Amino acid sequence: MSSEMILSSNAAELEKVIRERRSVRTFEDREVWKEDVEKLQAFIQELDDPFDKKIEYRFLKAKEHKLTSPVLSGEDLYLAGKVKKGHLSDVAFGYSLEQIVLYAWQQRIGTVWIAGTLNRDAFEKAIGLQPDEVMPAVTPVGYIAKKMALRETLMRKGVKADTRLPFEKLFFKDRFDTPLTDDGSDLCKALEMVRLAPSAVNKQPWRAVVSGDAVHFYEKKDKGYDHGEDGDLQKVDVGIGLAHFVLMTKALGLNGSLKEADPQIQLPAETEYIITWTKA
Ligand SMILES: Cc1cc2nc3c(=O)[nH]c(=O)nc-3n(C[C@H](O)[C@H](O)[C@H](O)COP(=O)(O)O)c2cc1C
């Protein structure tokens, strides 16, 4: 079983998973079956690691480790991940965990990225976090309750979780002052999957500039976030968007690879170059 087989072998199925996925904060109050945990573990084993960051995951029982998140109800099990601090570590983490999030949804297992609303010390202790490592986010893993708890409904309203910025505000042609028109091409289909991705506080910080066979990805930084050396949550978001993009290009049979190759074009304020995808 490989991640590519499951998620990027069928563009229509992948698109359905991406369009239908939502954050799940209300779970059925019961244990996750061993078989389901094993499925996720097998998937994690097969994850590709284009950034070569060796992200480590651990399934953690909420009660055993006293793990809590005030936005959740009914959760029993968490998946936490950690990575060595360093250039592109946050991006790599987003790229990796989002593939697990999509796969879980496909298996009818609910998740939600949690970076802020958790008792972080307990999680970091449970995963054995070292000083040279970061644990950017965790997710509960469980069965989706039929009815959302009121606090989940309110949370979704608070961050306008069901809305996304329009295509032309996110993607550009050659320069940041020329919006890209969605012409229905495969590249635009893959970019549309980026647009639909989840992000912290639904800020959608990914931007991309298409130039010939290259797509340059950027981070548009919001004020109020720590963009420091120890971790930058909005880089995690860019990694999440990249995962959607790369999975969709693969599913559409577009071969390409990720590489740092900054085209040095003029940037809007608070915008940082991240990485370039180039068609093979
Ligand atoms: C990196 C990251 C961190 C997040 N942290 C939290 C969090 O701490 N608490 C929370 O309730 N939701 C968190 N979210 C979930 C977002 O609020 C959610 O993805 C966004 O509002 C879009 O909603 P959707 O996932 O249902 O499409 C986080 C999402 C991402 C990508």
Q: Is the pLDDT of residue 232 over 70?
A: yes
Buried b (16+ CB within 10 A) or exposed e, 90-106: bbbbbbbbbbbbbbbbb
Could you tell me the distance, in angstroms and rounded to a whole number, from the CA of residue 172 to the centre of ligand 1?
A: 26
Question: How is the chain split into domains, by residue range?
Answer: 3-158, 167-279
Rounded to whole angstroms, how far apart are CA atoms 183 and 172? 13
Overall average pLDDT of the 139-159 stretch: 96
**pTM strictly above 0.85:** yes
Bridging pattern class, strands 171-173 and 206-211: parallel
Q: Whose CA is nearest to atom 12 of ligand 1?
A: 114
Q: pLDDT grade, residue 225 (50/70/90)?
A: confident
HEC string for 216-264: EEEEECCCCCCCCCCCCHHHHHHHHHHHHHHHHHHHCCCCEEEECCCCC
Least confident of 32-41, 70-79, 139-148, 220-229: 220-229
Find the residues whose C-beta lies inside 6 A of ligand 1: 22-23, 71, 112-117, 137, 155, 159, 161, 198-202, 233, 236-237, 240
Q: Which atom of ligand 1 is nearest to the CA of 71?
A: 11
pLDDT tens figures, 92-148: 999 999 999 999 999 999 999 999 999 999 999 999 999 999 999 999 999 999 999
Q: Which atom of ligand 1 is nearest to the CA of 118?
A: 8
Specify whether the CB–CB gap between 83 and 92 falls below 8 A.
Answer: yes
Could you tell me the distance, in angstroms and rounded to a whole number, from the CA of residue 73 to the centre of ligand 1?
A: 15
Domains 3-158 and 167-279 share a fold: yes
Overall average pLDDT of the 4-13 stretch: 76
Q: Is the pLDDT of residue 229 over 80?
A: no
What is residue 9's predicted lDDT score, i.e. its pLDDT?
79
Which residue among 201, 222, 225, 238 has the greatest number of ligand 1 atoms within 8 angstroms of its CB, and so is best to mutate? Answer: 201
What's the DSSP call for residue 93? H
Rounded to whole angstroms, how far apart are CA atoms 46 and 39? 11
Q: Whose CA is nearest to atom 25 of ligand 1?
A: 23
Superfamily classification of domain 3-158: NADH Oxidase (3.40.109.10)
Q: Which atom of ligand 1 is nearest to the CA of 199?
A: 31
Overall average pLDDT of the 260-270 stretch: 97
CATH fold, domain 167-279, is NADH Oxidase (3.40.109)
pLDDT tens figures, 17-43: 999 999 999 999 999 999 999 999 999
Overall average pLDDT of the 78-95 stretch: 97
User: Which helix (H) or strand (E) segment is 110 a member of?
Assistant: strand 109-110
